[in-house]
Amino acid sequence: MSDPTRVERVAAVACRGRSRQALAAYWTLRAASLVVARLFFRFEVVHSERIPASGAFVISPVHRSNLDFALPGLAIRRRLRWMAKRSIFRGGRIDRFLYAMGSFPVNRSGVDRESLETCRRVVADGEPLVMFPEGRRKEGPVVEDLFAGPAYVACNERVPILPIGIGGSARAMPIGSKLVRPAKIVLVIGEPIYPDVAIEGRVPRAAVDVTTERLGVAVQALYEEACALAGTTP
């Protein structure tokens, strides 16, 4: 982060979508989406008391459907930030809408260090951040091949990770489907995972690896529980 231009870009992206108009749009769309989710998906949140009441944290859900990106925002009564693939940012009104909804671009073809620094900046500013530990949508019952991004941000910013299991979203909108069908969706909130790192100083890679492993175990258990409550199989 020694490049001043890069620092400016990260700061600019992290601050996008914080205007009054953007926040009003976010809360309006959230309220409407929550009504639809409760009617269409019989949307249910289990263990909402585990959600931190204040401060920044990294939200790490299982990822089995295109619906998953919106569901944590319906469960958590705070404005969330999240990464979205760079290809959907096409300029103009689309970008303004995406930023208003709390998103910012990431290049998923490799390690996007600038987006990771944006994640750190967002969390340092006190905002909750959604990071899917599996990266992109996956299929099957096993949560595996986790990326280190969520643990990296949590360890370096000394904030907890909130693991989330989602059951039923793959039935409501499976991979490859462009249509949504009614199916019960349940989110199970896990206990926050606090990284075991010193208050200050450099974070060793081993700490990131251990935190990632703890996250994988937690998300796997929560995914299975959420699927059972939604009446489906992982």
* pLDDT, tens digit, 9 for 90 and up, residues 125-137: 999 999 999 988 9
All structural domains of the chain, each given as residue ranges with its CATH number in brackets, are: 4-230 (3.40.1130.10)
pLDDT tens column, 78-109:
999 998 888 888 888 999 999 999 999 887 66
**CA dist list (Å): 85 to 73, 116, 175:** 18, 13, 16
pLDDT of residue 111: 65
pTM (predicted TM-score): 0.93
Contact 152, 119 (CB under 8 A): no
pLDDT tens column, 191-211:
999 999 999 999 999 999 999
Contact 12, 96 (CB under 8 A): no
